[in-house]
């Protein structure tokens, strides 16, 4: 069965997309821990990020760097943090987490409420800053 992220990639379920290339996609996490929490996903469905072939792993990190730059320009956090977990969705992905305060914890259990209209606003703002 396809992962939920493959369904997003195929357009079978919606997402707040911020960037897409032939091999990668980035969209807002539906249950963010900070405004602008973004997932970077290689389209090839491989569960464990460290099982990605070296070239795809490097491309994924390069793509994540470009998306993080767009997050930084659009939302002006102190910086953007990176988390790799993967225990919920078995399709390799990188969490990009804008850090707005030095006291902000970067923990995937710390969900915040972001309205649909704000998610739309944020994804459009990030998308506008993406340079691939």
Does position 15 bind ligand 5GP by CB under 6 A?
yes
Site for ligand 5GP in 16-35 (CB under 6 A): 27-31
Integer Cα distance of 93 and 41 in angstroms: 5
Between 87 and 116, CB nearer to ligand 5GP: 87
Enumerate the H helices of 1-132 as residue ranges: 4-10, 54-75, 116-129
Among 21, 86, 104, 106, binds ligand 5GP (CB under 6 A): 86
**Burial of 30 per CB tally in 10 Å (0-12, 13-18, 19+):** middle
Distances from the Cα of 126 to the Cαs of 37, 56, 60, 98, 119, in angstroms? Answer: 11, 23, 18, 12, 11
Among 11, 50, 88, 113, binds ligand 5GP (CB under 6 A): 88
Catalytic residues: 93
Between 46 and 89, CB nearer to ligand 5GP: 89
**Which residues would be at the binding site for ligand 5GP (CB under 6 A)?**
4, 15, 27-31, 39, 85-89, 108
């Amino acid at each position: 069965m396809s992962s939920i992220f493959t369904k997003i990639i195929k357009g079978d379920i919606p997402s707040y997309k911020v960037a897409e290339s032939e091999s990668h996609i980035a969209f807002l996490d539906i249950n963010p821990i900070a405004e602008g929490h973004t997932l970077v996903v290689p389209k090839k469905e491989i569960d464990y990020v460290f099982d990605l072939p070296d070239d795809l792993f490097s491309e994924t990190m390069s793509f994540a760097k470009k998306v993080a730059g767009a997050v930084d320009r659009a939302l002006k956090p102190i910086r953007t943090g990176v988390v790799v977990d993967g225990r919920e969705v078995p399709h390799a992905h990188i969490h990009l987490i804008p850090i707005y305060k030095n006291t902000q914890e970067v923990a995937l259990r710390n969900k915040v409420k972001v309205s649909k209209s704000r998610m739309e606003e944020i994804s459009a703002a990030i998308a506008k800053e993406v340079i691939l």
